[in-house]
Amino acid sequence: MASRKKNLQGLVAATITPMTEHGEINLSVIGQYVDYLVEKQGVKNIFVNGTTGEGLSLSISERRRVAEEWVTKGRNKLDQVVIHVGALSLKESQELAKHAAEIGADGIAVIAPFFLKPQNKDDLTAFLKEVAAAAPALPFYYYHIPALTGVKIRAEELLDGIQEKIPTFQGLKFSDTDLLDFGQCVDQNRQRQFAFLFGVDEQLLSALVMGATGAVGSTYNYLGKKTNQMLEAYERKDFSSALNYQVLYSEIYQLCDQTRFWSVTDQSHHDSGVWDSNGPTPAPTSESLQGVY
């Protein structure tokens, strides 16, 4: 059974994988990145090698090295480091899960395989069970992102009885706009103390109403402080202020629509001094971001 240090809750930054202008991973800035998240954004949980980190575009060796650096640099600074270990190959996913346990990660997450897709709940559960078994001491999270995987199995259906088959299962990263499905996940599993982590940043306030216990997102890399203020407003039932924060974020997402999303995210790290280069992606100017965050 996975050990329960403390529940994964609150904000979780989906980390970017820093790259050099030559397309190599840039491990040298991850220490600065950790300090920036903790000191400037108030975010002490991270989700590594996920969609934002472009984990599935990295080699297995690169994914291992990135995970190792985050765990090492985050020690005694971050609360939890969750490593995404999903892959099309079951063997590779198991290898990454085992590696995450060996380096001292706090949990692992897995998306559904998306080329030869599982056709039903049982197929998907069988895949997840095999990966979880490779790291039996680590909390296991399912990463539900049907828009990218094309796997349309409802999360609520998957969660029904899942802990009997995957004892280390402790929660869900729900990156979908189907709030009915999300709400049913919460409602039908209230006694299980699962982590219900919402992954659509622009709908977070709605998800809180539905019972979200936390959130995983890319914007918490640079909007963590503001989002924590929204969470605090919601907790003290100041719903007007919470709504104002959420509406403010719409300006960010509108800007992302007008530019390349990764450019906006990368530029925020250039401006904050986290790194000098994150690859050859063109970025908007600092002036274009003024007043937005």
Give 86-119 pLDDT, tens digit per residue: 999 999 999 999 999 999 999 999 999 999 899 9
Q: Is 52 annotated as a binding residue?
A: yes
Helices 224-235 and 239-258 meet at what angle, rounded to 10?
150
pLDDT at 251: 79
**Residue, of 144 and 258, whose pLDDT is higher:** 144
Distance, in Å, from the CA atom of 168 to the CA atom of 131, rounded to the nearest integer, reads: 11
**pLDDT tens-digit readout, 56-68:** 999 999 999 999 9
**Per-residue pLDDT at 167 exceeds 70:** yes
Amino acid at 105: A
pTM of the entire predicted model: 0.87
Catalytic (active site) residue 173: yes
Choose, from 142, 143, 220, 245, the residue flagged as catalytic: 143
Choose, from 142, 173, 220, 245, the residue flagged as catalytic: 173
pLDDT at 254: 75
Distance, in Å, from the CA atom of 70 to the CA atom of 31, rounded to the nearest integer, reads: 8
Beta bridge partners of 196: 172
Cβ count near 71 (within 10 Å): 20
**Per-residue pLDDT at 41 exceeds 50:** yes
Cβ count near 209 (within 10 Å): 13
- How confident is residue 228, by pLDDT bands cut at 50, 70 and 90? very high
**pLDDT tens-digit readout, 234-284:** 999 999 999 999 998 877 777 776 665 555 455 445 555 554 444 433 333
SS3 state of residue 19: strand
Quick one: tokens of 223? 């909007």
Residue 76 backbone dihedrals phi, psi, to 5 degrees: 70, 10
pLDDT at 259: 65
Cβ count near 247 (within 10 Å): 10
Mean pLDDT estimate for the chain: 88
**Are the beta carbons of 175 and 200 closer than 8 angstroms?**
yes
- How confident is residue 123, by pLDDT bands cut at 50, 70 and 90? very high
Largest CA distance in the chain: 53
Q: Is 216 annotated as a binding residue?
A: yes
**Per-residue pLDDT at 141 exceeds 90:** yes
Sorted by where each begins, the domain ranges of the chain are 10-259
Beta bridge partners of 174: 144, 198
Using alpha carbons only, give the angle 105, 9, 14 rounded to the nearest 5 degrees: 60
Domain 10-259: CATH superfamily, name plus number: Aldolase class I (3.20.20.70)
Catalytic (active site) residue 234: no
Residue 47 backbone dihedrals phi, psi, to 5 degrees: -125, 110
pLDDT at 199: 96
- How confident is residue 73, by pLDDT bands cut at 50, 70 and 90? very high
